[in-house]
Amino acid sequence: MKTPVTVLGLGAMGTALARTFLVAGHPTTVWNRTPGRSPELDDLGVTRAKTVGDAIAASPLIVACLLDDASVRSTLQPVASELARRTLVNLTNGTPEQARRAADWAAQHGAQYLDGGIMAVPAMIGGPAAFILYSGSPEAIAQYQDDLAVLGKPTYVGSDAGLAALQDLALLSAMYGMFGGAAHALAMISSEKISPTAFTADLLVPWLTAMIGSASGIANDLEYGAAPGAAASNLAMQAAAFVNFIDASEAQGVDPMVLLPIRTLLDRAVAEGHGDEDMAVLVRLLAKN
């Protein structure tokens, strides 16, 4: 018999998690603040708990996917004693410090704790492209890795419970930065009679795909130091040209708000004497410590 699992929260992601466990053959109990949500799970044999306490008692593996950290605390605090000798996997989006506090709280109540960052949208859960970052109890990931693998590739990043949230938010920051730049690009070409679909398929996606490879070079310079000699595309040159992005955007009636912080960062790098260096310098300027 496969490990019984309880899923707390039946939003779009929680429903996808529960459905995937059920399809994989795990006896699955669910609880949601609003009863009866996601009725399609009933046909798959889900068990609906009337209370959070009943939901926790049903399974050794508890997966929480709620709105935020506050909702996790308000849901679990009244039934904290029920968590003893169970494993809590918190897949609710949160911060590293929230994860560390939750890990300490779980330990105080006799539970193993894993924090997770889901690197997928609900439709991807259970598919080959989904992966989930986990951090926290080494014993818990060793015990339940195969069970969690049905949701997406489990990627364990360390015993510090905050590391999954840190890397989750770092990855999402990169995604939002990319999409912010893409939104600005589409706003620029949309100011003229240029097809956004053709521009995206023929130029934008191939360009971004080619450019993302340079992130490896930036990371290498950051970790090991740049090779001797001036950078091929130094920051002084980039800063001098960047004003064209601002001017052209404004001329096309496009708000340059997405680009302005980048211009500020480039100008700062040059002003602080890094004009002949490359992009890795920007990382060090952003890191306050």
> CA triplet 219, 199, 278: central angle to 5 degrees?
20
Hey, is 179 helix, strand or coil?
A: helix
B/e letters for 118-129, b = 16+ CB within 10 Å, e = fewer, are bbbebebbbeee
Hey, is 259 helix, strand or coil?
A: coil
Sign of CA dihedral 40, 43, 44, 45: positive
For 172, how many CA atoms within 13 A lie in the half-sphere containing its CB?
16
Hey, is 6 helix, strand or coil?
A: strand
Superfamily of domain 5-159 in the CATH hierarchy: NAD(P)-binding Rossmann-like Domain (3.40.50.720)
The most distant pair of C-alpha atoms in the chain lies apart, rounded to whole Å, by 67
pLDDT tens figures, 99-123: 999 999 999 999 999 999 999 999 9
The domain 167-286: what is its CATH number?
Answer: 1.10.1040.10
d(CA 259, CA 256): 5
d(CA 220, CA 271): 24
Domain map (residue ranges) of the chain: 5-159, 167-286
- Among candidates 267, 265, 270, which has minimal Cα distance to 282? 265
pLDDT tens figures, 177-224: 999 999 999 999 999 999 999 999 999 999 999 999 999 999 999 999
Query: Do you know the residue count of the chain?
Result: 289
d(CA 188, CA 54): 55
Q: What is the mean pLDDT of the chain?
A: 96
- pTM assigned to the model: 0.92
d(CA 66, CA 25): 23
Is a pLDDT exceeding 80 seen at residue 231? no
d(CA 149, CA 3): 12
Share of the chain above pLDDT 70, in %: 99
Mean predicted confidence (pLDDT) in 86-103: 98
Task: Please report, as a single letter, which amino acid is at residue 177.
Answer: G
Residue 230 confidence class, pLDDT cut points 50, 70, 90: low
